[in-house]
A and B are shown apart, each in its own frame.
Chain A
Amino acid sequence: MADNLQLNDEGKLKHFLTIEGLDKSLLTEILDTAESFIGMSDQQVKKVPLLRGKTIVNLFFENSTRTRTTFELAAKRLSADVLSISIATSSTSKGESLLDTIRNLEAMFVDMFVVRHAISGAAHFIARHTAPHISVINAGDGQHAHPTQAMLDMFTIRQIKSDFSSLKVAVIGDILHSRVARSEILALNTLGAAEVRVIAPKTLLPAHVETLGVSVYHNLMEGLKDIDVIIMLRLQKERMTSALLPSESEYFKCFGLNEDKLKYAKPDAIVMHPGPINRGVEIDSKVADGPQSVILKQVSNGIATRMAIMAMAMQKPGMTS
């Protein structure tokens, strides 16, 4: 994002809408702040009072279990009051505009919106039009961005691999429709990864994908060579009916990750997936549940990372350890 909608006058995080426009030091600050929260889950009392008295509204215009739950837990562990609304089945189906929905909730004195929406740009739109004291966190907008997912994945990678500058990362699957992919690519490039690759058939790659700063592969085995981190993407079933792919089985054959294909990557490569996974479509169970998989670690890290982002956006910079 060219404009500094996300940052306040002091250059601090105000909204978290996209990785674009955020520099390495800010991303690193998010990771460091998340680090300070990570030990909390093992404690008897899993709470800090950083956002006590604040009201956070999770506005989910699109279904989600994992993201909504981790945001909710993150808010609760920061001692905020949290309300989750599924709008897919609420007022918008009665014809209320997005802006009217936001205005009505604003009138209830909330401090933060966590927004998921099926249309690209929805979180930006809300951030641009909401009251100035409210922070907006993008929990996924259309095919545009899912920046908290990217940050929790960066956190997971850093936990295991430490240094980004030597890492070669492959993002595999439906890049075209994936907000996760766009945010991961931006985050990896900002943090200085040695190489980011995308591996997919042409039907699942957006036009001029190389302009995102990636090298492009259409062959999984070739693309996996020397790779340290594998990020698999979920394949929606409807891609088959819109003639983007012939069949699930053919996709699995070409781009599905199984134990044999995993051997083409570095022996210590880790396998990630933002979930929910389609076993036997993009990933074989033996890999998803195997020793190189960090999929569940990603989920756990989601809470700490989202706590960090929420706290920072509310100008409460983490815990002093």
Chain B
Amino acid sequence: MTKILIKQGRIIDPANSIDRFGSIYIADGRIISVTAEPDGFRPDQVIDAIGQIVCPGFIDLSSRLREPGQSRKATIKSETLAAASGGITTLCLQPDTVPVIDTPAVAELIRDLAEKAQYSQVYPIAALTQRLEGAELSSMLALKQAGCIAVGNASQPLRNLLILRRAMEYAASHDLLLMFRPNDYWLGNNGCAHEGAMATRYGLPGLPEAAETIALAQCLELVELTGCRVHFGQLSCQRSVLKIEQAKNEGLPVSADVAIHQLHLTENDMTPFDSVYHVLPPFRSETDKQSLRQGLTSGTINCLCSDHQPHDIDAKLGAFPETEPGISALETLLPLMLKLVDEQALTLQQGIARLSSDPAQILRLNSGALTPGFAADVCVFNPELNWRVNSENWKSQGLNTPYWEQTLKGRVTFTLQGGKGIYCLLNA
């Protein structure tokens, strides 16, 4: 029975309304006590957390790890290590792998690979429809039993609302959460940049907000009709925040997240034609960014996600519209959250909650908190430590980040998953 002591840090555990200095006691993979030393506790390992923050390990609701199918871009091993180094102990994997997560075999393969890697734990999200084609339902129950935590559309538009209705009814029958990124097929119209002044200036095919808000509004109507629990992922505009707020006021069982980079960058921050800024949904206006920030503060938007999408170099080498969208984002999640705190968009407690207890609640996991009895998923970070985003520090196989060669503040020094050290910053 391994005993670990995380000594004398500032413990922030939003779910238990804790923010005080003290130690955490871990035995046999579980938290046994917070601040109060259990009788006769003799640690096998002591982690010095003086001057650091100790909080629940982060739970990321949307990431791509590229395995199976695209291991030239990244692997489960490389990306779960990157996650661990970013304090993320649990990842939800979007179903658009190759093959798609629409059979128990694929889900089990992913679970196996993640278990072998021994870093962060990975929950596959099952495809809502077979091959994500929007035509036939996936075997949701079997996928749930194979370890899938939810069903999702992985950004693929659902053109047929009858199929969506039935999929939601079926998911609701098995009490499965639908993780939905709203995106209308027709209005999307191959857009690659926010339909605004920048897209107009640079002649880039625009993606209107309505492509998101109309799909969102349709899905909200179907929530009302079917009673399916829906989590809306990676929202990008003010009007989406307003719609979620309204739906929540009406008592619909919905929640939402935003990708961290949407809270920091807008269309105006993009270096023209620089493909590292090619993300979907696209960077939108300053107004949208501010609304998303306010939504996160008020809790209308429940949590932050990385929307991690690692790419190989070739995927980003080309004229902007022809490159693949996405940012490698696991390792910048914490520093960019802390930047929001610095900019007074959030309190530190809120920021940690949006990364831990809030997503845990959506997934109905007994984690995201330092509650005695819970698995010891813990992140220790130094909020003042500056580090440079470069190949020396970067773990993800995807180097596609707009923060490359920039200095960020706040760095994870130790990550525990299930009481096991999965990351330790050397020379911290």
Known: A207-B196, A207-B208, A208-B197. A182 touches B203 (CB 8 A): yes
Query: Within the assembled complex, what's the spacing in Å between the Cα atoms of A122 and B322?
Result: 9
Partner of A97, one of B196, B199, B200, B318: B318
A145 an interface residue at 8 Å Cβ cutoff?
yes
Closest chain B residue, CB of each to CB of A178: B203
Q: Which of B182-219 contact A (CB under 8 A)?
A: 195-197, 199-206, 208
* B255 CB to nearest A CB, Å: 30
Q: Which of B196, B200, B317 has the most CB of A within 10 A?
A: B200
In the assembled complex, which residues on chain A have CB atoms less than 8 Å from the CB atom of B203? 120, 141-145, 179, 182
Interface size class of B (residues with CB under 8 A): 20 to 34
Closest chain A residue, CB of each to CB of B321: A119
Partner of B319, one of A3, A117, A207: A117
In the assembled complex, which residues on chain B have CB atoms less than 8 Å from the CB atom of A121? 202, 204, 272-273, 319-321
Q: Are A125 and B201 in contact (CB under 8 A)?
A: no
Known: A145-B203, A208-B196. A99 touches B317 (CB 8 A): yes
In the assembled complex, which residues on chain B have CB atoms less than 8 Å from the CB atom of A129? 317
In the assembled complex, which residues on chain A have CB atoms less than 8 Å from the CB atom of B208? 207
A116 an interface residue at 8 Å Cβ cutoff?
no
Q: Annotate A122-150 by CB proximity to B: 1 below 8 A, 0 otherwise.
A: 10110001000000000001111100000
Number of A residues with CB within 8 Å of any CB on chain B: 28
In the assembled complex, which residues on chain A have CB atoms less than 8 Å from the CB atom of B204? 120-121, 143-144
Q: Which of A97, A119, A141 has the most CB of B within 10 A?
A: A119
Query: Within the assembled complex, what's the spacing in Å between the Cα atoms of A98 and B206?
Result: 23
Q: Are B200 and A125 in contact (CB under 8 A)?
A: no
* B266 CB to nearest A CB, Å: 14
Query: Within the assembled complex, what's the spacing in Å between the Cα atoms of A122 and B195?
Result: 20
A1 an interface residue at 8 Å Cβ cutoff?
yes
In the assembled complex, which residues on chain A have CB atoms less than 8 Å from the CB atom of B320? 119-121, 125
A212 an interface residue at 8 Å Cβ cutoff?
yes
* A236 CB to nearest B CB, Å: 15
B344 an interface residue at 8 Å Cβ cutoff?
no
Q: Are B319 and A97 in contact (CB under 8 A)?
A: no
Closest chain A residue, CB of each to CB of B200: A206
Q: Are B272 and A97 in contact (CB under 8 A)?
A: no
Q: Which of B377-417 contact A (CB under 8 A)?
A: none
In the assembled complex, which residues on chain B have CB atoms less than 8 Å from the CB atom of A88? none
* A212 CB to nearest B CB, Å: 7
A160 an interface residue at 8 Å Cβ cutoff?
no
A240 an interface residue at 8 Å Cβ cutoff?
no
A108 an interface residue at 8 Å Cβ cutoff?
no
In the assembled complex, which residues on chain A have CB atoms less than 8 Å from the CB atom of B200? 206-209, 211-212
Partner of A125, one of B205, B206, B319: B319
A45 an interface residue at 8 Å Cβ cutoff?
no
B17 an interface residue at 8 Å Cβ cutoff?
no
Partner of B318, one of A1, A125, A143, A208: A125
Query: Within the assembled complex, what's the spacing in Å between the Cα atoms of A20 and B197?
Result: 14
Partner of B273, one of A124, A143, A179: A124
Q: Which of A197-211 contact B (CB under 8 A)?
A: 206-209, 211
Q: Are B317 and A97 in contact (CB under 8 A)?
A: yes
In the assembled complex, which residues on chain B have CB atoms less than 8 Å from the CB atom of A144? 202-204
In the assembled complex, which residues on chain B have CB atoms less than 8 Å from the CB atom of A179? 203
B314 an interface residue at 8 Å Cβ cutoff?
yes
B271 an interface residue at 8 Å Cβ cutoff?
yes
In the assembled complex, which residues on chain B have CB atoms less than 8 Å from the CB atom of A107? none
Q: Are A2 and B271 in contact (CB under 8 A)?
A: yes
Return the 7 tightest CB-CB contacts between A and B, nearest first. A144-B203, A143-B203, A121-B273, A206-B200, A211-B197, A122-B319, A119-B319
Sample of 20 further A-B pairs with CB below 8 A, known A121-B320, A207-B199 = A2-B272, A3-B272, A20-B201, A99-B318, A119-B321, A120-B320, A121-B272, A124-B272, A125-B273, A125-B320, A142-B203, A142-B321, A143-B205, A145-B203, A206-B206, A207-B195, A207-B200, A208-B200, A211-B200, A212-B200
**A residues whose Cβ falls under 8 Å from a Cβ of B:** 1-3, 20, 97-99, 117, 119-122, 124-125, 129, 141-145, 179, 182, 206-209, 211-212
**B residues whose Cβ falls under 8 Å from a Cβ of A:** 195-197, 199-206, 208, 271-273, 314, 317-322
26 pairs, CB–CB < 8 Å, chain A vs chain B: A1-B272, A3-B272, A97-B314, A98-B318, A98-B322, A119-B320, A119-B322, A120-B205, A120-B273, A121-B272, A121-B319, A121-B321, A124-B273, A125-B318, A125-B320, A141-B319, A142-B203, A143-B203, A143-B204, A144-B204, A206-B200, A208-B197, A208-B200, A209-B200, A211-B201, A212-B200
